[in-house]
Chain A
Amino acid sequence: MELIQTMLINFIMLGLFYSLIALGLALIFGVMEVLNFAHGQMYVLGGFVLFYFYGKYHVNYFVSLIICGVLLAALGFLFEKFLFRQVIASEKVTHSGSFLLALGTSLLLEEGALLAFGEKARGVPPVIQGIAKIGSMSVSYSRLLVIVISLFLILALFYFLNFTKIGRAMRAMTQDKETASLQGINVRQLSSLGFCLGAALAGIAGGVMSPVVSFSAGSGGPITTKVFIILLIGGFGSLVGAIAGGFVLGFLEAVGFALFPSDLVMLIIYAVVFLMLMFRPRGLMGKVFRE
């Protein structure tokens, strides 16, 4: 019974957390058709920002989270304005240039973080000590906090995308850029905003997760891979798909790590991705990217 409770809590927490981080990447992919390989590194940077502001200088946790978001958004803005915009404009057919650029930025951020912060694994103390009792279940408050903040951010993002003018313009852009610009939508500004928003989400996700899981400069790469796995499962080009994929991966990890050795779990996940690509390449609810 206890095992099932642990699995359930881990499933909800990981599912929401993965959805949050995958939404950022799906947003960037939607508005710019760039696969942001640096997403995991941005997550790690968010963790480091929180480590310094909250862990070292004892700024309030929620203020630190906002600082994470703002700093990462600024980084995303610089990347978009000075690198991606020009490269995408100069590309004609293939996306290999923006791909490699994204890979380059991910290498840069990873090595930069390694040089600046060292290779030590970091973590911050929990925000609220103690354990909550929900019925017969006991959950630590820090996990509960992850769940609450992730849920809040996901709902806020969906409110923004569905009920505000800018958000709807952004969604129109993900469907068809040219038609959107014909309707008077400023595609350039919105690409920039989308990139900022995606980067900020990655940074905040790092900040949210750091009281629960410790991280180091090298832990960005696996996160990027996981986000890609989520999008392959959920489907590219769909924000709801990102959430669905996040929950599928959360489920596989929560159940898998409790029952099987960890190496085997990753192999099962890779096998799921491979079968998905073979039999339902559009993912759970993505749009079809056929030739």
Chain B
Amino acid sequence: MIHKFKWTRYIGLFVLGIIYLIVIPLIWGHSSFILNIAITASIFSIAALGVWICFKVGLMNMGQSIFLALGGYCTAILSVKLGLSFWLCLPISGILAAIVGLFLGSVTRWLKGFYFSILTFVLNMAMKQILMISDFTGGASGIRNVARPNSVSIGGLTIIPQFNGDNKLPYYFLAAVLLIITVIVIWRLTTCPIGRMTDALCQNDKLAASVGINIVKYRLISICTSSFLAGISGAFFVGYTTVIYPITYTTTESIYLPIYCLFGGVNYIIGPILGAFFFQAVFPFLSILHDYQAIIYALIMIVVIRWLPNGIISLRFRRKKVAE
């Protein structure tokens, strides 16, 4: 399991990073269509990475929309009612989502994994209903005119410019920075001792428990991280679109995130990112198929689970195995 750190292993990732950070903004910097896809895909990748972290401890999070909505509404309410800056709302939303995640996780802490999945699935429905009737969150029409991220300057030097609706480039870089930080943090988490223990949990939880690994602790850590990431991405979406409606946060949306993970490959950290970018990038181009979008999702899901249980990334390794 322990690899020697070799640069050659990571050249591909390095190239992808350069394309992502430099080539895309240089070439498509003025095309808001392409940038919009890239921004949405990046943020969905962050939420999908949260789901992936739950997969790592053998849980399936089927209510990521709960935490996306929590983050989004937290930011919207704080910035509209209290006038807080977006840069403060972002971490607060993440922490709030993490606390709620901790609570949900602790309710099912001694139970088998599928209880967590069903609880999140059922609560997702409940949450939509609460948001629809609550006056505090604006009911079905939601909250509009949320402030965009404002400029930040220290000592007269503007570090971050004022965001506006016409130029999507600042949003792109913000999303990219958030995604890269997330990937680095999760990478560290999965390669440090915690990651080794969650690997053990994923492979055989009873054996892991018998050698003294505290299952509950690592599950709660994963659920917390997962909901934190969802809270952050929900907050970003509100800052990006400036509106929030309850109808966006349905169970179907929650189900798409595990599909991203599975499509890309559950065993690899790049998996959920690949999945998110693929789905976000392919469907806008196939706008003729808009009516069939959900059925195509379903078919892809079934085909991938049935014939490619490790995602499209396993296509690369399969050839090697045959050669051996």
Q: Which residues of A contact B (CB under 8 A)?
A: 35, 83, 86-87, 90, 92-97, 99-101, 103-105, 107-108, 110-112, 115, 221-222, 225, 228-229, 232, 263, 266-267, 270, 273-274, 277-278, 281, 289-291
Asked if B301 is at the interface of the complex by the 8 Å CB criterion, the answer is: yes
Total A-B pairs, Cβ < 8 A? 128
**Given A104-B298, A228-B118, list of 19 further CB < 8 A pairs?**
A93-B58, A94-B60, A96-B55, A96-B58, A100-B258, A101-B301, A104-B305, A105-B298, A110-B294, A111-B295, A112-B295, A115-B292, A115-B295, A222-B125, A228-B121, A274-B119, A281-B108, A281-B110, A291-B206
Bound form: Cα–Cα A179–B39 in Å = 53
Are A278 and B302 neighbours in the complex by a CB distance under 8 Å? no
Are A225 and B111 neighbours in the complex by a CB distance under 8 Å? no
Smallest Cβ distance from B177 to chain A, in angstroms? 31
Q: Choose from A35, A107, A267, A278 the contact partner of B255 (Cβ within 8 Å).
A: A107
Beyond A100-B259, A108-B298, whether A267 also contacts B111 by CB under 8 A is no
Contacts of A96 in B (CB 8 A): 55, 58, 60, 258, 266
Are B112 and A267 neighbours in the complex by a CB distance under 8 Å? no
Q: Which of B132, B202, B215, B306 has the most CB of A within 10 A?
A: B306
Q: Closest B-chain residue to A271, C-beta based?
A: B126
Interface residues of B, dominant DSSP: helix
Interface residues of A, dominant DSSP: helix
Bound form: Cα–Cα A261–B209 in Å = 47
Beyond A107-B294, A291-B110, A291-B112, whether A35 also contacts B118 by CB under 8 A is yes
Bound form: Cα–Cα A238–B285 in Å = 48
Are B215 and A291 neighbours in the complex by a CB distance under 8 Å? yes
Q: Which residues of B contact A (CB under 8 A)?
A: 55, 58, 60, 62, 107-108, 110-115, 117-119, 121-123, 125-126, 129-130, 132-133, 202-206, 209, 215, 251-252, 255, 258-259, 262, 266, 291-292, 294-295, 297-299, 301-302, 305-306, 309
Contacts of B251 in A (CB 8 A): 221
Q: Closest B-chain residue to A231, C-beta based?
A: B118
Bound form: Cα–Cα A222–B121 in Å = 11
Are B112 and A86 neighbours in the complex by a CB distance under 8 Å? no
Q: Choose from A104, A263, A291 the contact partner of B132 (Cβ within 8 Å).
A: A263
Are A108 and B112 neighbours in the complex by a CB distance under 8 Å? no
Are A273 and B306 neighbours in the complex by a CB distance under 8 Å? no
Smallest Cβ distance from A89 to chain B, in angstroms? 11
Contacts of B114 in A (CB 8 A): 35, 95, 99, 289
Contacts of A94 in B (CB 8 A): 55, 58, 60, 113, 202
Smallest Cβ distance from A143 to chain B, in angstroms? 27
Are B262 and A107 neighbours in the complex by a CB distance under 8 Å? no
Q: Closest B-chain residue to A82, C-beta based?
A: B306
